[in-house]
């Protein structure tokens, strides 16, 4: 009976823990607005991220960007090589972008 109770408690705790977040720093390469795909270069490798309107975009000052992800479509503001950090979480077995921080991260 105790094993059953411990197993049930373990399942409850496992489901209560949100997806683990991962941060990847790199530089802006391009953004395809029609597909909402952001390409970031990290360590000589380009990675594509599928974005949604739910992605939180923060300026280098930590404030929310007014334009949201459409900021990447603005060629005047989205410069190739600009530093950014992509924060992802695992949800339902998939890596999902939850936040993007513009500018260098402080170490």
Q: Which CATH superfamily is domain 19-102 in?
A: Copper binding periplasmic protein CusF (2.40.50.320)
Which tens digit of pLDDT belongs to each residue from 68-91? 999 999 888 889 999 999 999 998
Round to whole Å and give the CA distance between 49 and 31.
Answer: 10
- What's the token pair of residue 15? 């489901």
Cβ-contact 51, 84 below 8 angstroms: no
Round to whole Å and give the CA distance between 77 and 9.
Answer: 50
Which tens digit of pLDDT belongs to each residue from 48-63? 999 999 999 998 888 9
How are beta strands 94-102 and 83-91 bridged, if at all? antiparallel
Which tens digit of pLDDT belongs to each residue from 14-47? 444 555 779 999 999 999 999 999 999 998 899 9
Cβ–Cβ contacts within 10 Å for residue 58, how many?
17
- pTM, two decimals, is 0.76
């Amino acid at each position: 009976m105790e094993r059953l109770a411990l197993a049930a408690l373990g399942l409850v705790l496992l489901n209560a823990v949100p997806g683990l977040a991962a941060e990847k720093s790199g530089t802006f390469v391009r953004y395809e607005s029609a597909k909402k795909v952001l390409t970031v270069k990290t360590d000589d490798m380009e990675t594509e991220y599928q974005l949604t309107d739910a992605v939180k975009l923060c300026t280098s000052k930590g404030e929310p960007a007014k334009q949201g992800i459409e900021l990447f479509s603005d060629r005047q503001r989205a410069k190739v090589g600009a530093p950014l950090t992509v924060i992802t979480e695992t949800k339902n077995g998939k890596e999902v972008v939850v936040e993007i921080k513009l500018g260098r991260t402080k170490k």
